[in-house]
Amino acid sequence: MEPIYLLEAWKVREMLLRRELTPREVLQAVWERVREVEPRVNAYITETWDAAEEAVREAEKDWSQGKDPGPAAGLPMAVKDILCTRGIRTTCASLILENFVPVYDATVIERLKAAGLTMIGKANMDEFAMGSSTENSYFGPTRNPWDLGRVPGGSSGGSAAAVAAGEALWALGSDTGGSIRQPASFCGLVGMKPTYGRVSRYGLVAFASSLDQVGPITRCVKDCALLLQLICGHDPKDSTSLPEGVPDFLASLEGDVRGMRAGVPRELMGEGIAPGVKRIVVSCFEVLEDLGMKVEEVSLPHLDYALDAYYIIAPAEASSNLARYDGVRYGLRVEGEDVLDMYSRTRARGFGDEVKRRIMLGTYALSAGYYEAYYAQAQKIRTLIIGDFRRAFERCDVLVSPTSPTVAFRLGERLEDPLAMYMSDICTIPVNLAGLPAISVPCGLDQGLPVGFQIMGKLLDEVTVLRVAYALEQALGFRARPDSSKGVG
């Protein structure tokens, strides 16, 4: 049998329910694995042994009284260090928040705690979620468990690496422009960004508030559906949270996909997609056809401008959101001559290069003379992209594409070239701009490294996205596990 730390969360849950395992044994297995591989992977910023211990103690007490401690109990989870956790420092991988200890839990954490959350650590990430490689972390880069010389993707790279390496059974990430799906793709995992407003952003440290969503990173589609179920739903504490009811995601997996239409946006299959990635993605189209789906090319012409629009809108929102880190209320303060000097010293020292780059880009785009030329234009493009999706979904049930144009790249390869780094997000950004749900499913290996298949859905139609993802996963029968030649097998 596979080691416990590599099992799907739902399987471990069944074993716990059948009393074939105890929460303590699971935690022990995962913990030993962390001790073994973490020095090489660096998936965590803060290991939360005490919180995990306490959760397990609670769970065992419940079991012994014949009570079910909940669907997340005894299933060690990595939580991206952008989600506020009461009493546990939440750094966003930034020096400026190095010692910030929130006094409240994010809503998703609160909900998961009610379901028995066993949090094993706060996962590494790009500083303030800005990046696609987890190299922009004050706490050093995370390495890809498949090949330690490569990046795990980002910005939720620590979450993905933890799950791929067996340092957690599942994880939470956040996705503003691909930060759940791209690392899931690079690490051979399932990652989903829900519809904007499905999951509360309360307690999620804001990067670009009109784009940010929390979502699962898991080993299989079923785990993804289970975790999604636990975090979705209306939250009065988030004014953008949707009032819609939450369907039963698990029940939706088994439904038939026969007769459904999948559109392939031409704009996401062209130049820049690595030949190996393209080949595997195209072979998945055939699998979908064998399942009775119709796969056809569609065009969303304004996707060609999605990256440009995103890299105006996201920095603009970030420049405003990050204004709060001024040395007064949060974290780091560097004293100066007067209060203005204190602000600028604090921010100069506290933020890394990429964060400063975004703040400057965003401030520039929003400044009086340039607002119309940049920010307003970008918003118009955003509206056109929403229209493109609406038209495509009149014909199609889902849209499909690669998740990332390439497999995981080498550490350092794109650090000096921000544009090359930004190009990593070309396939993932469009749904963030349109607020739509999308998933990445592992679909094969190119040069020994995982490739992700992206399925995008209509607004609030996670059910169809998950159903197609599950059908594809079952039909492919592809299980991705790193080995020890270059990674941590």
Q: Would you name the residues annotated as active-site residues?
A: 80, 155, 179
- SS3 of 89-154: CCCCCCHHHCCCCCCCCCHHHHHHHHCCECEEEEECCCHHHCCCCCCCCCCCCCCECCECCECCCC
- Dmax over CA atoms of the chain, in Å, equals 70
Closest approach, Cβ 186 to ligand GLN, in A, equals 12
The nearer residue to ligand GLN, 100 or 207, going by C-beta atoms, is 207
CA distances from 460 to 155, 336, 454 (A): 24, 49, 17
Residues of this chain that bind ligand GLN (CB under 6 A) = 129-132, 155, 175-179, 207, 314, 425
Backbone phi and psi for residue 294, each to the nearest 5 degrees, phi listed first = -100, 130
CA dist., res. 247 & res. 284, Å (int): 27
Is 348 within 8 Å of 333 (Cβ atoms)? no
The nearer residue to ligand GLN, 85 or 404, going by C-beta atoms, is 404
Tokens representing 462? 């996670």
Closest approach, Cβ 400 to ligand GLN, in A, equals 20
Q: Which amino acid belongs to residue 286?
A: E
The nearer residue to ligand GLN, 397 or 425, going by C-beta atoms, is 425
Coil, helix or strand for 283?
Answer: helix
Closest approach, Cβ 201 to ligand GLN, in A, equals 13
Closest approach, Cβ 293 to ligand GLN, in A, equals 28
Closest approach, Cβ 379 to ligand GLN, in A, equals 17
CA dist., res. 415 & res. 431, Å (int): 25
Report the residue number whose CB is nearest to ligand GLN.
Answer: 179
CA dist., res. 376 & res. 390, Å (int): 21
Closest approach, Cβ 245 to ligand GLN, in A, equals 27
The nearer residue to ligand GLN, 5 or 207, going by C-beta atoms, is 207
Per-residue DSSP letters for 298-310? E--GGGGGHHHHH
The nearer residue to ligand GLN, 179 or 401, going by C-beta atoms, is 179
Describe the crossing of helices 462-476 and 275-290 by its angle, rounded to 10 degrees.
100
The nearer residue to ligand GLN, 425 or 461, going by C-beta atoms, is 425
Tokens representing 75? 């299933």
CA dist., res. 211 & res. 41, Å (int): 29
Tokens representing 355? 């964060």
Rg (CA), the chain: 21
